[in-house]
Amino acid sequence: MVKLRLKNRNVKKRCHIYAMLRAQGKHLSFHTPGHKQPGYDVTELSYTDNLSAPTGCIAKAQADIAEVLGAKQSFILTDGSTSGVLAMLHAYVLAGYQSLAIPDFAHKSVKNGCKLCHIAPVFYTAEDLSAPQTVLEKADGLLIVSPDYYGRIPNLQQLENACKNANKPLLCDGAHGGHLKGNAKLYAGFFADMWVDGVHKSLPALTQGAVVSAKTEFWAEYLRESVDIFRTSSPSYPVMASVEYAVKYPPNPRLEDAVFAVAKTNDRVIVNDDWTKFLFKGGKRAYEIKQALERRGIFAEFCDGDLLLFYLSPATTNGQFSALCRALKKVGKQYPYERIERIPAPEFVAVDGDMENIPLAQALGRVCAKDCGLFPPCVTLIARGERITQEKIRVLQNADGTFGLTDGKITVCKADAEE
Ligand SMILES: Cc1ncc(COP(=O)(O)O)c(C=O)c1O
C-alpha cells in the first residue's frame, strides 16, 4: 500500500493534491503502475487531474505555489531540479538569448543544459559577482546559484539591479533555496526572471520534488513549452502532493535561532547566510569524523575532505539538532582540528590527442581530460586540462560518491604520459 506521511496537520488541510488522494474510494487498478497496489501511487485517471494539462487539484496546487513563491506561474516537477534547470535554459533560448554567464562551480545540470541547448557558457567565479556589470558585459544574461551547497548567497538586490540596467535576464538555480520563500532579502525568486526551487532538498518533500517558476507572462509562456519537453509524462502523485505540502510548510524560527546560536559559540561550526547548511570544520580528520559519526548513526550530506555538511530543514526537530550538536562535541574532542594547508591554484594545460582511463593512485601529475568531482555536490573538483594533485586524489579516493570517473578510474591525456 503506497501512502504518504505528512506530519503537519494545518498544512495538510490546505493541500489540494493530498486531499484528492485521501478521498480515493474503492479502487481496483487496471492501469499503470504495474505494482497494482492500492494507495497514492496512481496515474492520470478521471479524478486525479493531469500535470501536463491541469484543470483540477493540480491546477489549484500550482496556483497556490505560484502565490507563495511570488511567481506569475509555477510548474511542479517530479524529476528533480535538473529538469527545471534544463527547462529554464531551454526557455531562455526560445526567448532568443544565446550566451549565458554561469558560475564555474555550477551544478552539472547547468553545464549539461548549456551543451544541450547550444548556449555559450561564460564562466565567472564567486568573486567576479562583486562587479556584476563586468560579468554581464560578456554574456546575454546571468545565471546564479543561490544559495550554494555551503549556504552562500550573493547580493541579490545588486544583481537584479545590474541585470535590469543592462536589460538582461537573471536566472537562478535555487536547488538549495526553497525554504527561503518569503524572505525578502534572501529568496532568489524575488529577484530572478526564472528560477528553480529544489524543494526536496531543504523542505519536507519527497526526493525529486521541485518547482520551476517564471516572474512574468513573457517567461511563463516559454517555460510552459520547455517544461513540457523536459518533464516526465508519468509524474509521481506522492511526489507532486509532497511538493505542494513542502511549499506550504511554515518556517522554523526556533531552530533557525538555535543554529545561529551554536555557530556563534562553536568555532568549528560555520553557518554562512543560510541556516540549513550547517558546516563542521573537520580539517585533516574530516573523514575520521564522518566515520565516527556514522558509527553513532549520524549521516552528513557530504564531506569535501575538509568540511562536513549537515543539511537541515524546517522539518528537522530540535531534538534531532541537539543530538547532532552533542555528537559533534564528543567526536570533535576525539579528533581535534588540524588545518589543511591551502591548496595551491591549479595548473592548466591544453588538452588534445588520445585519452585513457587510469586508477586514481597513478594519476599524480597527469592532465585531467574530463571534469570530475564529488557527488554530491556535483561541482567540478578537477577540471579538464587541470594537472592532478595529490590532495585532490585524496579527496576523490575518500569520497562516498563521485561523478566523471569511469569504473573508479580518472580520464587523462595520453600524450602527457609519453612526454
Ligand atoms: C546547485 C544544484 N543545482 C541543481 C541540482 C540538481 O538537483 P536534483 O538532484 O534535484 O536534480 C543540484 C543537486 O545537487 C545542485 O546542487
- In the CATH hierarchy, which top-level class contains the domain 355-418? alpha beta
CB atoms within 10 A of CB 364: 12
Residue 172 in this model has a pLDDT that exceeds 60:
yes
Grid cell locating 291: 566515520
Q: Please state whether beta strands 277-281 and 302-303 pair in parallel, antiparallel, or not at all (unpaired).
A: unpaired
Write out pLDDT tens, residues 101-149.
999 999 999 999 999 999 999 999 999 999 999 999 999 999 999 999 9
User: Could you tell me which residues are beta bridge partners of residue 372?
Assistant: 382
Span 9-247: which CATH code? 3.40.640.10
pLDDT grade for 379, boundaries at 50, 70 and 90: confident
Q: Please state whether beta strands 120-124 and 99-103 pair in parallel, antiparallel, or not at all (unpaired).
A: parallel
Domains 9-247 and 355-418 share a fold: no
Q: CA 254 to CA 275: how far, in whole Å?
A: 11
Mean pLDDT of the chain: 96
Q: Which atom of ligand 1 is nearest to the CA of 84?
A: 11
Average pLDDT of the residues in 150-164:
98
Q: CA 26 to CA 28: how far, in whole Å?
A: 7
What's the pTM?
A: 0.94
Q: Which atom of ligand 1 is nearest to the CA of 208?
A: 10
Q: What does the CA dihedral 202, 203, 208, 211 come to, rounded to 10 degrees? A: -100
Q: CA 200 to CA 210: how far, in whole Å?
A: 6
Span 253-334: which CATH code? 3.90.1150.10
Q: CA 178 to CA 188: how far, in whole Å?
A: 9
Write out pLDDT tens, residues 211-245.
999 999 999 999 999 999 999 999 999 999 999 99
Q: CA 158 to CA 155: how far, in whole Å?
A: 6
- Is residue 243 lining ligand 1, measured as CB closer than 6 Å? no
Q: CA 247 to CA 118: how far, in whole Å?
A: 32
pLDDT grade for 341, boundaries at 50, 70 and 90: confident
- The domain spans of the chain are 9-247, 253-334, 355-418
- Tell me which of 152, 378, 381 to substitute to probe ligand 1's pocket, judged by most ligand atoms within 8 Å of the beta carbon: 378
Q: Report the separation in Å between the CA atom of 305 and the middle of ligand 1, taken as the mean of its atom positions.
A: 20
- Tell me which of 78, 81, 86, 211 to substitute to probe ligand 1's pocket, judged by most ligand atoms within 8 Å of the beta carbon: 81
* Torsion region of 179: left, alpha or beta (phi above 0 gives left; psi -120 to 50 gives alpha): alpha
Residue 416 in this model has a pLDDT that exceeds 80:
no
- Which amino acid is it at 390? Q
Q: Which atom of ligand 1 is nearest to the CA of 85?
A: 4
Residue 418 in this model has a pLDDT that exceeds 70:
no
